[in-house]
Amino acid sequence: RAVHHRRGGTGPRAFRGRVPRAPRPRRSAPRPCGRRDRRTLRAASPRAAAAGAPASSVGAAAPAQGIARVVRAHGRPRRAPLATRGAGLMPEWPDLHVVRSRLEKALVGREIVLVRVGDPLVLRSTRPVETFLAHQRFVSVRHRGKFLIFDLDQGRIVVNPMLAGIFELADAEAKLTRSTALSLVLDDGNDLRYRDDKRMGKVHVVGLDDDLHDIHGFADLGPDAGDFSWSEGEFAQRARATRRELRNLLQDQSFLAGIGNAYADEILWEAMLHPKRRVATLNDEEMSRFYRSLKDVIARGAREVEEGLPPELGTKIRGHMQVRLRKGKPCPRCGTLIIKTRHGLDDMYLCPRCQPPPKGQIR
């Protein structure tokens, strides 16, 4: 029998009978895609089309056996400051609003010639995804809150990126990354890829007859944060009816859909309100400031993302933010150092001078 000794070696404190834990197996390196995938990609490439290869001969292939790293193309445009390839930044309304517009221009009218599933864990479908999506064409791209919806001629793809999901347009012949969950190769040689290194996002593949309200969280969505039509008075009435803390209210998708941690911090800094203030404690002037800040920050965020997002997507733009991810830096308004604290399970950033805490609250 194996003998386990406490610190100090042998002696009266040693005891028998505990079997040491086996070492955890090392993760194997990714393997490249199979030959069948490479032949299919070559047949679907623009060079093959120019040589006279029939595009209709391309069909759905088996999922790739492994996932390799993407080779970055030369001449890639510089990213905006604090842009990141994931890093746990949740896509929010301004991000998905711009991504939807870019993807609509790139995808509508294109046919899916190859489907590669890199991580089945994120898929939600009662159909075989590879065969169901093959040879379908994109009809439109829209988004609802934090959901991105791809309408096909015979079905839909509904994606909730959750914490770290991200979309990317790449060359179909470029290698896949380990975090690529789904790859849709198009008839023009482009590749729509969904990456999720946290594996928290959900990709729902449904038919045209399926009700989108059956997707978890979709039926409870409130108006979109970027284009709701409430007047200031109606907004105040609806907000005061909840009797919640301000940050919780902003992140409640049934109140307004599409706001997460980053833009909640920015809205409250702009309004000079502490995240833990309760809606019921706001006077009329503070409520008006809250409403205007919400409108202004979301609209400004969409403009900044549009300017900073590169053509291949794949990043989240945060360089325009005033307090988010700026711990220890001076507040742009008063110069006080930005602090980072906790709000439930989330991190939040605020200015302790511009956003004084409610009575009895330290931070």
Tell me the mean pLDDT in the region 199-227. 93
Tell me the mean pLDDT in the region 251-260. 94
Q: Could you tell me which of 157, 146, 161, 141 has the C-alpha nearest to residue 101?
A: 141
DSSP for 314-362?
A: --B--TT-SSTT-TTSBPTTT-PBPEEEEETTEEEEE-TTTSPPPTT--
* pLDDT tens per residue, range 114-147: 999 998 999 999 899 999 999 999 999 999 999 9
Percent of the chain with pLDDT over 70: 74
Is the pLDDT confidence value at 68 over 90? no
Phi first, then psi: give them for residue 44, nearest 5 degrees: -90, -5
- Alpha-carbon distance of 316 to 327, in angstroms, equals 19
| Whether the Cβ atoms of residue 122 and residue 199 lie closer than 8 Å to each other | yes
Boundaries of every domain in the chain? 59-69+82-214, 232-350
Which of these CATH numbers, 1.20.210.10, 1.20.120.1200, 3.20.190.10, 3.40.50.300, describes 59-69+82-214?
A: 3.20.190.10
Q: What pLDDT score does 336 carry?
A: 96
Q: What pLDDT score does 361 carry?
A: 65
Q: What pLDDT score does 271 carry?
A: 97
347 pairs with which residues across the strands?
342
Structure tokens at 79: 């990213």
* pLDDT tens per residue, range 72-120: 333 333 433 334 444 446 789 999 999 999 999 999 999 999 999 998 9
115 pairs with which residues across the strands?
184
- Alpha-carbon distance of 308 to 311, in angstroms, equals 10
Q: What pLDDT score does 76 carry?
A: 37
The residue to which tokens 């109140």 are assigned: 255
* pLDDT tens per residue, range 299-341: 999 999 988 888 778 777 888 899 999 999 999 999 999 999 9
Q: What pLDDT score does 349 carry?
A: 96
Report which secondary-structure segment, H or E, holds 287. helix 284-308
Tell me the mean pLDDT in the region 171-182. 91
Q: Are strands 155-160 and 346-350 parallel, antiparallel or unpaired?
A: unpaired
Report helix, strand and coil shares of the chain as percent, to nearest 5.
25, 20, 50
Q: Could you tell me which of 225, 202, 228, 82 has the C-alpha nearest to residue 149?
A: 202
Average pLDDT, the chain: 81
Cα 137 to Cα 127, 140, 154, 157, 277, distances in angstroms: 17, 9, 8, 12, 48
- Alpha-carbon distance of 213 to 208, in angstroms, equals 13
* pLDDT tens per residue, range 8-53: 455 545 445 555 566 665 554 444 455 555 555 555 554 454 444 4
Residues in the chain: 363
The residue to which tokens 């449904």 are assigned: 206
Helix crossing, 284-308 with 93-107: angle to 10°? 30
DSSP type of residue 43: H
Q: Count each helix (H run) and each strand (E run) in the chain, helices first.
A: 8, 13
SS3 196: coil
Phi first, then psi: give them for residue 347, nearest 5 degrees: -85, 145
Q: What pLDDT score does 346 carry?
A: 85
Percent of the chain with pLDDT over 90: 60
Q: What pLDDT score does 60 carry?
A: 41
The residue to which tokens 């939600």 are assigned: 124
Structural class in CATH, domain 232-350: mainly alpha
- Model-level pTM? 0.73
Q: What pLDDT score does 309 carry?
A: 85
- Alpha-carbon distance of 207 to 156, in angstroms, equals 6
Count of other CB atoms within 10 angstroms of residue 297:
25
- Alpha-carbon distance of 22 to 58, in angstroms, equals 47
Is the pLDDT confidence value at 355 over 70? yes
Q: What pLDDT score does 85 carry?
A: 41
